[in-house]
Amino acid sequence: MDLRLAITRALLEILKRHDPELYAHSLRVTEYSLQMAAHLEMSQNSVTMLYYSALLHDAGKLFIDPQILNKPAPLTSRETEIVRNHVQLPVINQFRQFKKIARAIKHHHEWYNGRGYPDGLHGKEIPLESRILAVADAMDAMMSKRPYRDAIGLSEAVAEIKKCSGTQFDPELASAFCSIIEVPRDGRELLAQVPQAANLCIEQSER
């Protein structure tokens, strides 16, 4: 079996058992990301990299104390630092097959204006996959209930994406995302764009 596929399956299964909501969030972010990939007509290889990156973008939270992740009050500076470390996923960093995936995950909280983390990259210095994940992740996060805040609706979330265009998000990607997000598509249909080997990740994890 392909090492990349085997490790991804294992991490998804752990994520599903450990935190079902975080697992569901990862699947929704993957669907949003694939919609963007289709809109941008990305190459098959790039779509596959984005697919794996989206599935695993929050897997680093498996190694963070749930009491910190689910804290209903503001985090301390130390707790914030701990949470931010979720973009580092040592379990995959050691494998050559995950080099581009790990890079995309590492930078999905960078801001287009350079005020994000962990490296303060800005503009096109941020990998394309990371810039796509940034918008998709924020969209689903805003529309999901958290211990420290309520969820907001689609129109409010779209308005917030537009508001943060050019600061937090790549303006071109933010505009494209907002133009397609209100046209629902079947997530399973989108998976057809991904090679079968990668496609097995979600199928195996949902059994």
Separation between Cα atoms, residue 168 and residue 113, nearest integer Å? 6
d(CA 58, CA 135): 14
Q: How many CA atoms lie within 13 A of 85 on its CB side?
A: 12
What pLDDT, on the 0 to 100 scale, is given for residue 195? 60
Burial of 155 (0-12, 13-18, 19+ CB in 10 A): exposed
Task: Give per-residue pLDDT as tens, 56-66.
Answer: 999 999 999 99
pLDDT of residue 147: 75
Provide the 8-state DSSP code for 72.
S
Residue 90 structural domain: 3-205
Residues of the chain with pLDDT under 50: 206-207
**pTM for this one?**
0.90
Query: What is the percent of the chain with per-residue pLDDT over 70, rounded to a whole number?
Result: 87
CATH number of the domain to which 69 belongs: 1.10.3210.10
- 102-119 per-residue burial string, b: 16 or more CB within 10 A, e: under 16: bbbbbbbbbbbeeebbee
Tell me, what's the pLDDT at 166?
A: 96
pLDDT, residue 191, reads: 63
User: What per-residue confidence (pLDDT) applies to 184?
Assistant: 56
Residue 197 is classified by DSSP as: H
Q: How many domains does the chain have?
A: 1
